[in-house]
């Protein structure tokens, strides 16, 4: 299991605390430093079953500068969104946990973290 975090994010810290409390084995990826490629973002989106606009933090200053709220949310615009997330990783919703079963969750709540843990199997 891998968790994409921003150490300054309280929800990320809460997720790590819960993973530790459950004795989970995981790898931390500080995605603002170790920026995911467009291909990695596409893979995570596939695992999440979401579109790039679903994991974009549209309230961030960078999002407002880019005007992402006005961007089309359709198949033809998907690559523009993916490129923006790769170029501006701060826009990626966090934390994201990728599970061993090939799925992923946006782990912004304790329930979501537990969901990811349940997908790990033994």
> What are the catalytic residues?
9
Facing residues of 39 across strands? none
Over its C-alpha atoms, the chain yields an Rg (Å, rounded) of: 14
Continuous H helices in the chain: 10-21, 38-48, 61-66, 78-87, 110-118
Which residues, 6 or more positions from 122, have their beta carbon under 8 angstroms from its beta carbon? Answer: none
Cis peptide before 90 (omega within 30 of 0): no
Distance (Å) of CA 41 to CA 24, 78, 82: 24, 11, 7
């Amino acid at each position: 299991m891998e968790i994409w975090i921003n150490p300054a994010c309280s929800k990320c810290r809460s997720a790590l605390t819960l993973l530790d409390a459950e004795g989970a084995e995981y790898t931390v990826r500080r995605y603002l430093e170790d920026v995911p490629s467009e291909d990695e973002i596409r893979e995570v989106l596939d695992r999440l079953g979401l579109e790039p606009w679903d994991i974009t933090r549209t309230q961030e200053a960078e999002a407002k500068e880019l005007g992402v709220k006005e961007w089309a949310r359709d198949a033809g615009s998907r690559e523009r969104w993916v490129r923006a997330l790769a170029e501006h990783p701060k826009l990626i919703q966090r934390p994201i946990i990728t599970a061993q079963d090939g799925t992923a969750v946006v782990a912004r709540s304790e329930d979501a973290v537990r969901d990811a843990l349940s997908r790990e199997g033994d």
